[in-house]
Chain A
Amino acid sequence: GIQVEQSPPDLILQEGANSTLRCNFSDSVNNLQWFHQNPWGQLINLFYIPSGTKQNGRLSATTVATERYSLLYISSSQTTDSGVYFCAVDPHANTGNQFYFGTGTSLTVIP
């Protein structure tokens, strides 16, 4: 199956700092989503971004499908940004969202 690699595996930031999380995937994808798993275990949708660039407040994401990577940018980080960020990809067409997940980036934002 498709391989999904996320980096860095762990990240500690001072509140207010910016960061970039990366997701590399080994094959072409039909869908890509970024999720934030909060400390309570919920998977929160951040971006549905099979290609292109999107922004939502302090967060933005870019997927370069031809080069098989996606980036998640967090600006002016806050303690509530702490948690694990997952990239999930679906290499199939016409199968809904049959995701392969990366191993995640664990982010800790300290005040």
Chain B
Amino acid sequence: DAGVIQSPRHEVTEMGQEVTLRCKPISGHDYLFWYRQTMMRGLELLIYFNNNVPIDDSGMPEDRFSAKMPNASFSTLKIQPSEPRDSAVYFCASSLQTGANMNTEAFFGQGTRLTVV
């Protein structure tokens, strides 16, 4: 498997514009996570899905952020409108639960470095 694939790798946009980040999880994985990394807050979980259903979005900072998972092989994180403080590296990760309390390790994509000017 090619691992978790994110696109684009880099995105530079102007304040107020809509930004869409994309993620393809590892085939067969049933959990998908979106994390954000900033200097101030480190790595923090934004939202996660199980079998394409959003389970916990309490980490999403504002209503400007939204995430979808229309099928098992694709997820998007959208910011509309974007602001300079959204500048960060956004990571997508996936993992598989093999049984009750039995999770396999999580794998991360290469991240999308977002700069909002």
Which A residues fall within an 8 A CB radius of B? 30-31, 33, 35, 41-43, 45, 48, 86, 88, 90, 93-104
Task: Contact check, A96 vs B106: say whether CB atoms are below 8 A apart.
Answer: yes
Chain A residues with CB under 8 Å of B97's CB are: 94, 96
- Contact count band on B: 20 to 34
Min CB–CB distance A49 → chain B (angstroms): 9
Which B residues fall within an 8 A CB radius of A? 30-31, 33, 35, 42-45, 48, 50, 55-56, 89, 91, 93, 95, 97, 100-101, 103-108, 110-111, 113
Task: Contact check, B111 vs A41: say whether CB atoms are below 8 A apart.
Answer: yes
Task: Contact check, A101 vs B89: say whether CB atoms are below 8 A apart.
Answer: no
Task: Contact check, B110 vs A30: say whether CB atoms are below 8 A apart.
Answer: no
Interface of B is mostly: strand
26 contacting pairs across A/B (C-beta < 8 A): A31-B105, A33-B106, A35-B108, A41-B89, A41-B110, A41-B113, A42-B111, A43-B111, A45-B108, A48-B105, A86-B43, A93-B100, A94-B100, A94-B101, A95-B55, A96-B30, A96-B97, A97-B33, A97-B93, A97-B103, A98-B33, A99-B43, A99-B45, A99-B106, A100-B45, A102-B42
Interface of A is mostly: loop
Task: Contact check, A93 vs B106: say whether CB atoms are below 8 A apart.
Answer: no
Task: Contact check, B111 vs A31: say whether CB atoms are below 8 A apart.
Answer: no
A103 to B39, CA, bound (A): 10
B50 contacts which of A42, A86, A96 (Cβ < 8 Å)?
A96
